Amino acid sequence: MNHLYESKTQQPPKIGLIILQALILLLFCVFALRFWYLQIHKGSYFAEQARNNQLRQDQLYAPRGLIRDRNGYLLAVNEPAYALGIVREDCKDFDSTFKKVSEWTGVDIGKIKSVFKKKKKRIKPFEPLILVPNLSFEQVALIEANSLHWPGLEIVVRPRRKYKYGKLLAHVLGYVAEVDEEELEKDHDLSVGDFVGKQGLETVLEKRFRGIKGKRQSEVDATGRKLEQRILKNPVAGEDIDLSIDLGLQELGGKLFKGKAGAVVVMDADNGQILAFVSSPSYDSNSFVTGLSTKEWKTLRDDPMHPLQNRVIQSVYPPGSVFKLAIAGCGLHNNMLDPKETLFCPGFLKLGNYVFRDWKKWGHGDVDLKKALTESCDVYFYKVGMRLGVDRMSEFAKACGFGQRTGISLPHEKAGLIPTREWKRKRFHDIWHPGENLNMAIGQGYVLVSPLQVTRFIASIINGGKLLRPQLLKGEPAEVQSKIPLSKDQLAIIKDAMIHTVEGAHGTARRLRRPDVILGGKTGTAQVVKLTDEIKKMKDSEIPYKYRDHAWMASFGERGDKKYVVVCLVEHGQHGGSGAGPIVKAMYNYLFPPIKGENAEENKTKS
């Protein structure tokens, strides 16, 4: 025995040991008493509570912000929708319940099961898991009447997006649909079954539209019946948003495009506000909210007219003669074009072994800049294009906003294409040939632009050169992105030529002419394919649809302090004036309601 460790100083503290034991006793007594109080004294009370009253929390859906047009007409609202949910905890027999649900709703039982399997990981057992998202009133009535026999099934009322003009604004508004796994992972405010924006403004402004969910506490009895409910947190509705779109104008545009493919855009030239944004054909936004069947989706996707394509920003076309406005600007900017200088047009231009033809077989004769634009003389611009060369032309076209996104707040915008030597080398491993300058000068060849880019460019001609970001929301301040490099005088020359295109006796946009509005325009015909001689010989109406040229009409209208740009593209519409002209004309009739009587002329001179 080693006595070192038994010395008095090494004795454990006696009082300390007593304290430790006293603490154990205290611990036992306090908790034993508490258990007795909860489990014996109040046991039957709590057992009753457990049997009858279970507290559950569920979410209250926040209504999505409303969407209105510039005049306050509602475009997107919320309506109550009925969904069939299943509360796992209350359900006794899943298989027979699924069978019943399938019987009531006509939804395939396999689908119900797979929905259930997929969602249950993310939904608490006492929360309704949505099995069938959209029920008809008949189905609701049928289920309500039988619900007592099927514990766990519950009709869930949720706000659902309703687009009052489903097809008309699909390409602007987009649509909402149920969240997918990826979105759930990224955004923790979302839960299974929520609707989120998937396309258009609905997705771009998702955060503003969404609102904040509320919370509700329910007391539930053993069969899942709700006894008493208490709102713990009220939901906060999402923000309402007013668009710059004018519903009347948009409707008119939609109507004019019935049966046609193409786009028409109306923009306020001073601030970039978009008044009409028509892409035709369109699809119904509502069909995505209620859910498309695979078959419906396939039909939409494979439709040869491509209704899902947003032709205003996602389709790019050769600009045809509309591009001549930019080439004219380029010539002026580089001091390589004198507006008074005339060039002779015999109806063709020979370059090496190639013959470049004018659209007018017998030629325009002596042509100055104004006449060249007014009558859309090709040979004049061939010559200008040769003078300028690709480098100057592409640099200037880019300065006009071509070949780059406009920055409109919609997803998946395309940039289009302005070719350069470098681009061609990379793309085709080939040098830039002189002949390609000619093609480029008349907006053919590789040049590709979107209708919205053209709209923005035309607006810049009449607003002093400002390239504006197109705005879709009302009251959004004008945003000048850059200025096109033309002086006031140079802009005036082009503008004047555009007016002459409408007013002049040989102008290609004569049909727009109106006594009470200053109108300027430029037509364009964009070749779809290099036409064979055989097709060239055909009459317009005999050419197969897919070989017909696209028709462009870029225009502006001024009256008083109102300045609008209307740009229209009709796919396979053949000629700018006849194909797109009537649509543009009708749009102006809406924008500038005709003034009756002799005031008309007077009004025009004043402005």
What are the residue numbers of the active site?
321
Closest CA to 213 of 197, 195, 186, 240: 195
Choices 16-24, 167-175, 430-438, 447-455; region in contact with other proteins by CB under 8 A: 16-24
Q: Is 88 in the site for other proteins (CB under 8 A)?
A: yes
Task: Out of 113, 119, 124, 260, name the contact with other proteins by CB under 8 A.
Answer: 124
Q: Report how many residues bind other proteins under the rule CB under 8 A.
A: 53
Check: CB of residue 171 under 8 Å from CB of residue 308: no
Site string for other proteins, 126-155 (x = CB under 8 A): x-----------------------------
Tokens of 255: 């109507």
Nearest approach in angstroms of CB 238 to other proteins is 23
Per-residue CA distances from 523 to 38, 301, 425 (Å):
87, 32, 32
Nearest approach in angstroms of CB 8 to other proteins is 8
Nearest approach in angstroms of CB 133 to other proteins is 22
Please list every residue from 56 through 75 that binds other proteins, using CB under 8 A: 56-57
Choices 50-58, 144-152, 288-296, 545-553; region in contact with other proteins by CB under 8 A: 50-58
Dihedral, CA atoms, 292, 296, 298, 302, nearest 10 degrees?
-120
Beta bridge partners of 521: 555
Per-residue CA distances from 319 to 173, 334, 407, 496, 570 (Å):
27, 22, 20, 20, 12
> What element of type H or E holds 227?
strand 226-233
Task: Out of 4, 355, 431, 505, name the contact with other proteins by CB under 8 A.
Answer: 4
Instruction: Please tell me whether the peptide bond between 281 and the residue prior to it is cis, using omega within 30 degrees of 0.
Output: yes
Residue 410 and residue 203: Cα distance in Å, rounded?
8
Q: Is 606 in the site for other proteins (CB under 8 A)?
A: no
Task: Out of 100, 119, 120, 513, name the contact with other proteins by CB under 8 A.
Answer: 120
Nearest approach in angstroms of CB 89 to other proteins is 8
Nearest approach in angstroms of CB 29 to other proteins is 10
Q: State the pairing for strand pair 176-178/195-197.
A: antiparallel
Site string for other proteins, 221-260 (x = CB under 8 A): -----------xx---------------------------
Q: 524: helix, coil or strand?
A: strand
Task: Out of 10, 293, 335, 541, name the contact with other proteins by CB under 8 A.
Answer: 10
Task: Out of 80, 110, 125, 560, name the contact with other proteins by CB under 8 A.
Answer: 125
Nearest approach in angstroms of CB 64 to other proteins is 24
Given the structure tokens 């989706």, which residue do they identify? 297
Residue 159 and residue 154: Cα distance in Å, rounded?
16
Q: Is 9 in the site for other proteins (CB under 8 A)?
A: yes
Q: Is 414 in the site for other proteins (CB under 8 A)?
A: no
Backbone angles phi, psi at 343, to 5 degrees: -120, 145
Residue 558 and residue 568: Cα distance in Å, rounded?
17
Nearer to other proteins, 10 or 335 (CB): 10
Tokens of 159: 């706000």
Residue 234 and residue 59: Cα distance in Å, rounded?
10
> What element of type H or E holds 267?
strand 262-268
Residue 46 and residue 462: Cα distance in Å, rounded?
79
Nearer to other proteins, 96 or 607 (CB): 96
Please list every residue from 425 through 484 that binds other proteins, using CB under 8 A: none
Nearest approach in angstroms of CB 126 to other proteins is 6
Site string for other proteins, 175-214 (x = CB under 8 A): ----------------------------------------
Task: Out of 134, 139, 203, 217, name the contact with other proteins by CB under 8 A.
Answer: 217
Nearer to other proteins, 38 or 157 (CB): 38
Q: Is 46 in the site for other proteins (CB under 8 A)?
A: yes
Nearest approach in angstroms of CB 232 to other proteins is 6
Q: Is 89 in the site for other proteins (CB under 8 A)?
A: yes
CA atoms within 13 A on the CB side of 246: 16
Residue 211 and residue 176: Cα distance in Å, rounded?
14
CB atoms within 10 A of CB 128: 22
Q: Is 28 in the site for other proteins (CB under 8 A)?
A: yes
Nearest approach in angstroms of CB 229 to other proteins is 13
Residues 6+ apart with CB under 8 A from 123: 88, 129, 191, 192, 193
Dihedral, CA atoms, 377, 382, 387, 390, nearest 10 degrees?
120
Choices 45-53, 354-362, 388-396, 416-424; region in contact with other proteins by CB under 8 A: 45-53
Task: Out of 20, 141, 227, 336, name the contact with other proteins by CB under 8 A.
Answer: 20
Q: Is 600 exposed, middle or buried (0-12, 13-18, 19+ CB in 10 A)?
A: middle
Q: Is 407 exposed, middle or buried (0-12, 13-18, 19+ CB in 10 A)?
A: middle
DSSP string, 538-576: S-GGGS-GGGSPEEEEEEEEEETTEEEEEEEEETT---I
Backbone angles phi, psi at 488, to 5 degrees: -55, -45
Q: Is 39 in the site for other proteins (CB under 8 A)?
A: yes
Residue 471 and residue 478: Cα distance in Å, rounded?
8
Nearer to other proteins, 228 or 540 (CB): 228
Nearest approach in angstroms of CB 44 to other proteins is 7
Choices 116-124, 331-339, 505-513, 517-525; region in contact with other proteins by CB under 8 A: 116-124
Residue 352 and residue 350: Cα distance in Å, rounded?
6
Nearer to other proteins, 19 or 157 (CB): 19
Q: Is 27 in the site for other proteins (CB under 8 A)?
A: yes
Please list every residue from 373 through 412 that binds other proteins, using CB under 8 A: none
Q: Name the site residues for other proteins (rule: CB under 8 A).
A: 1-2, 4-5, 9-13, 15-17, 19-21, 23-25, 27-28, 30-32, 34-36, 38-40, 42-47, 49-51, 54-57, 88-89, 120-121, 124-126, 215, 217, 232-233
